[in-house]
Structure 1
Amino acid sequence: MMGEFLLVCACGGLGAVARFVLNTSIQRWWNRVFPLSTLVINITAAFFAGIAASAYFYQTVGYFTYLLFVAGFLGGFSTFSTAINEMVSLAKSNRIVMALGYFAATVIIPFLMIVLGWWIGAMGR
């Protein structure tokens, strides 16, 4: 049990490092008010979570692998709390339409990515 805990923690740390690298890279390229980096990160995480869920459902991967990847890596990689904070910051700076658009994109697009990931993971079954 302690080994599982430590491995999930290690995978979460790797996910956080990956998020930091991707976030920094996108922010250097995208120098605008709209928080694109967090949106890209959460969309990517949702897509891979959909693939992982499909792989686990169809028994392509075991529970432990699924746990390490989804709860560990993707848990450290994705960042819903940052997205909410960015929405609030946009609203406080009177960018209400942008905040509402970001809210919609943050909820709808990752949902669609989970569906797409599941569909891709289930192809050929």
Structure 2
Amino acid sequence: MLLVCVCGGLGTMVRYVFDVSIRRGWHHAFPLATLLVNVLASFCAGMAAAGYAYHTVDHATSLIFVAGFLGGMSTFSAAINEMVSLARNRRWWLALWYLLATIAAPLLCAALGWMLVAVTR
């Protein structure tokens, strides 16, 4: 349990560095940093789930990595907050596009991560 918490903290630090780095170079209303970090975390979670399903990753390692590190790194609550903020600022189409991208892209990337492990197996 302690390792899950420590890895969650590490994942949160990675997200912060990633977020600050993207925002420095991206000056637009679209919250790209949050979408990219969630896409990356979903891809890695798909790979970890496939590794666990195909018995190449044990349960403890999967739990520490997925629930800990990737759970700390991903931030779907911030994504929803950013979508609401876009809508409140009357950027309706951007809010809608961001909502759809926040749902579809991580699901697709999780499936791609799974398929990558399945193909290389």
TM range (shorter): over 0.9
Q: Mind listing any 5+ residue stretches in structure 1 that lack a counterpart?
A: none
| Corresponding residue number in structure 2 for 1:12 | 8
The CA distance in 2 between the partners of 1:80 and 1:29, in whole Å, is: 22
1:45 alignment partner in structure 2: 41
Q: TM-score w.r.t. structure 2 length? A: 0.98
2:89 aligns with 93
Segments of 5+ residues of structure 2 without an aligned counterpart are: none
**Among the aligned pairs, what percent are the same residue?**
55
* Equivalent position of 1:108 in the other structure: 104
Deviation at residue 124 of structure 1 after TM alignment: 3.4
Q: Distance in 1 between matches of 2:120 and 2:100?
A: 32
Deviations, residues 18-51 of structure 1 (Å, cap 9, x unaligned): 0000000000010111000000000000000000
Match of 2:119 in 1: 123
Aligned to 1:23: 19
Which position in structure 2 is the counterpart of 1:84?
80
What is the one-letter code of the residue matched to 2:74?
A: S
The 5 Å alignment of 1:35-74 reads 35-74=31-70
TM-score with structure 1 setting the length: 0.95
Superposition deviation, residue 123 in structure 1? 1.3
- Show structure 1 runs of 4+ deviating over 6 A: none
